[in-house]
A = this chain, B = another copy of it.
Amino acid sequence: MKDSDILQRLTEVLESRKSADAEKSYVASLYAKGLDKILKKVGEESAETIIAAKNGDSKQLIYEMADLWFHCIVLLSQQNLTPDLVLKELERRFGLSGIEEKSQRQQLKD
């Protein structure tokens, strides 16, 4: 599956969980507990990502960052937003940020 398909498919699955039984789906249980619970998970997984990176353990880092991104995407979904909005924002910044642009112009000159 291509990267973009993974995010698209994940978004669809999260959307479908909005009508799922909170006792049977972890995501549905997060929606049911509400925004604060989802944000708590974002904070928790961020700390675990930092700890994994300090442990110098690549496998653990990938695992914890997947947890962080997953809960970020649940947050977006709960707010009726989608990950492609975040990616478009990242795209928009390229060549727009003063520092990045200066660096790119510099490279063109070199």
Contacts and interface: CB of A to CB of B under 8 A. Distances in A.
Interface of A: 1-10, 13, 16-17, 20-21, 24-28, 35-36, 39-40, 42-44, 46-51, 53-55, 58, 61-63, 65-66, 68-70, 72, 75-76, 79, 81, 83-91, 93-94, 97, 99-100, 102-103, 106-107
A13 to B, nearest CB: 7
B47 A65 contact: no
A106 to B, nearest CB: 5
Given A4-B2, A72-B65, A44 B51 contact: no
Given A50-B51, A61-B79, A103 B44 contact: no
Contact of A44 (B24, B35, B47): B47
Q: Count this chain's copies in the assembly.
A: 4
B103 A81 contact: no
Contacts of A3: 3-4, 7-8, 83-84, 87
Nearest to A1: B91
A100 B25 contact: yes
B81 A61 contact: yes
